[in-house]
Amino acid sequence: MLSQQATVFALSQVELPQRLIKFKNCRILRNHTIIREDLWVRNGKIINPEKIFFDEKGQAHVQIDCHNAIISPGFIDLQINGGYGVDFSYDINSVEDGILKVSKKLLAHGVTSFCPTLVTSPKEIYHQVLPKIKRKAGGKHGATILGVHVEGPFISIEKKGAHPENCIRELENGFDTLEAVYGDISDVSIITLAPEKPRVPEVISELVRRGIIVSVGHSMADLIHGETAVKHGASLITHLFNAMMPFHHRDPGLVGLLASNEIPDGKTVYFGIITDGIHTHGAALRIAYRTHPKGLIIVTDAISAMGLEEGTHRIGQYSIEVRDHKAYVAGTNTLCGSIAPMDECIRVFLHETQCPIEFALEAASLHPATCLGISDRKGTLNYEADADFILLDDNLIVHSAWIAGECVYENNKHSIPKVDVQPPEN
C-alpha cells in the first residue's frame, strides 16, 4: 500500500492524458455483465488493448491495482433540481456558482454527468437562468453538464405537485408560446410537458426535430394521449407513478405506456423513476422493473435539501420542509422531490427489486445515456467511449470517480480500493 504522498504523486501521473493507463485486478461492467478483465485508458477514452499489444507493441505507463473493485460507467442523473443548499430554479443571481457546487459534490455519489432541472417558474426566471446553464465537459471541477431538463410550465394544474399553479401555462400559439416562455433553449436537452394539453402533439414534433427529448409527466393524460405523444416523438416519462393518473384497469394512463401495443416498431419508451424508498413503493418498483426493464431509468429528483440537515429549504417558488427524511411543500404533506443521492437510490432499488447488480448500475448509466442518444460515448465501458467511470465495492459504495481518464474524486473514508501505481511490466 502506498503512502499518502506516493498516492498523490501517482494520481498526478495518471492525469497526464497521453499516458496509457491499465486498471488491473478489477471487475468491469460491459455488455450487461460484470467480467474480470483489465480496463485500458488513453487520451480520455477506453481503448482496445489488443491494438496496444499487437500493433504498437506497447506497455502501460501506469498500472492501477483496483483490489477487486467493480468498475461501472459513471452514473447519469436526468432529473436533479439542486442539492447542498442550491436550487437551480431559485438562486438566479448565483446560477453558475450553484451549478459548480452541485456538479463537484455529485462526484462523491458516482454521478459523472447530469441534467440540471428547472421546475415550473415565471417566464423571467427561464430567461435569466437558461442562458447561464451551458453544456460543459466534466473534470475535477465537477460532473459533465449534458443540458438542462425543463420540467414545466406546460403541465396539468391537477397534477402540479410542487409546481406553482400561477406559473402553469397553456400552449396557446403552439411552439411560438414555448419559445416565448423559455427564451434560449440551445442548451436544453429534455422538456417535460402534459400530453393532454391542446397543441402538444405539434410542439412535440418540433422539439424532436430540434433534437430535444420530450418527456410526458405532471399529467392527467389517459393512455391514448400518451400513445399519441409517443407517436409524435415523445420518448420519456417523468418520474413514473408520481404526479400522474394512477393505474386503472380500464384506462391505465401514462403507466400503460410500459405495456402499450401502440408504440412504433423499434422505439423504446423510457421512464424515470425515483427510487429513494419514499416516492415509490417497493411493489411499484418491482412492477415497473418486471414490466418494462429496458426503459427503466433511475433518477434522484433531488432538491436543494440533499446533503443538508432537516429544516426549511427551497424548490423553485416554494419553501420546503424536510421532516423525518422527507421533503414537503412547507405547511403541507405534498412531497416535493428527493433528498437521496444517486448511489443511495441505486442501493434502494437493488434491495427492493432483487435485480442483478449489473441491471441496477446500467439503469443509472447505460439507460439514461441511450435515452439521450449518447450511448456511443457515455454510460458504457465499450472501446472508444469516454473514460467516465467509477470504482465501487460489492456494497456499491463509491470509492473513486474518473472523468476522461482523470481521477476526479477519492473516498478517503475507505482504504480499499487504494490507488497503487506500478511501473510497466517487462
* Nearest-angstrom CA–CA distance, 109 and 111: 6
Q: pLDDT tens across 183-234, in order?
A: 999 999 999 999 999 999 999 999 999 999 999 999 999 999 999 999 999 9
Binding positions for Zn(2+): 151, 218, 239
Binding positions for substrate: 162, 242-243, 250, 279, 335-337
301 in catalytic set: yes
Please write down the HEC assignment for all residues of 105-160. HHHHHCEEEEEEEECCCCHHHHHHHHHHCCCECCECCECEECCEEEECCCCCCCCC
Q: Which of 348, 372, 396 is the last residue of a domain?
A: 372
> 273 and 405: one domain?
no
Q: What is the mean pLDDT of residues 100-125?
A: 97
Mean pLDDT of all residues in the chain?
91
Q: Which of 330, 347, 372 is the last residue of a domain?
A: 372
Name the most confidently modeled range: 15-29, 172-186, 302-316, 333-347. Answer: 172-186
Q: What is the mean pLDDT of residues 81-92?
A: 91
**Listed range (91-95, 107-111, 345-349) with the worst mean pLDDT:** 91-95
> 125 and 36: one domain?
no
Identify how many contiguous H helices and E strands the chain contains and give both numbers. 11, 23
> 120 and 39: one domain?
no
> 129 and 23: one domain?
no
* Greater model confidence, 208 or 7: 208
Give the domain CATH number at 393: 2.30.40.10
* Nearest-angstrom CA–CA distance, 339 and 308: 8
* Nearest-angstrom CA–CA distance, 61 and 19: 6
Quote the Cα angle for 79-83-88, to 5°.
65
Place of cell 393505474: 247
> 79 and 68: one domain?
no
Judge whether 303 and 315 are in contact, CB under 8 Å.
Answer: yes
Q: pLDDT tens across 361-413, in order?
A: 999 999 999 999 999 999 999 999 999 999 999 999 999 999 999 999 999 87
Model pLDDT, residue 97: 96
Q: pLDDT tens across 48-78, in order?
A: 988 777 666 668 889 999 999 999 999 999 9
Number of structural domains (the chain) is: 2
Give the domain CATH number at 331: 3.20.20.140
Q: Which of 87, 91, 276, 301 is catalytic?
A: 301
> 136 and 260: one domain?
yes
* Greater model confidence, 238 or 425: 238
* Nearest-angstrom CA–CA distance, 177 and 334: 29
> 281 and 162: one domain?
yes
> 291 and 155: one domain?
yes
Place of cell 442550491: 86
* Nearest-angstrom CA–CA distance, 188 and 129: 11
Q: Is the pLDDT of residue 11 over 50?
A: no
* Nearest-angstrom CA–CA distance, 280 and 273: 8
* Nearest-angstrom CA–CA distance, 260 and 98: 40
> 392 and 325: one domain?
no
Model pLDDT, residue 54: 67
> 341 and 385: one domain?
no
> 173 and 302: one domain?
yes
pTM: 0.92
Question: Taking phi first (over 0 means left), then psi (-120 to 50 degrees means alpha), and beta for anything else, what does residue 346 get?
Answer: alpha
Binding positions: 151, 162, 218, 239, 242-243, 250, 279, 335-337
Q: Which domain range does residue 15 map to?
A: 4-72+380-422
Q: What is the mean pLDDT of residues 160-175?
A: 95
Model pLDDT, residue 4: 33
> 317 and 207: one domain?
yes
For 382, list phi and psi in degrees, rounded to 5.
Answer: -65, 160
Q: pLDDT tens across 244-303, in order?
A: 999 999 999 999 999 999 999 999 999 999 999 999 999 999 999 999 999 999 999 999
- Closest C-alpha to 369, from 114, 117, 107, 81: 114
Model pLDDT, residue 56: 65
Model pLDDT, residue 93: 87
* Structure-block grid coordinates of residue 120: 415550473
Judge whether 181 and 207 are in contact, CB under 8 Å.
Answer: no
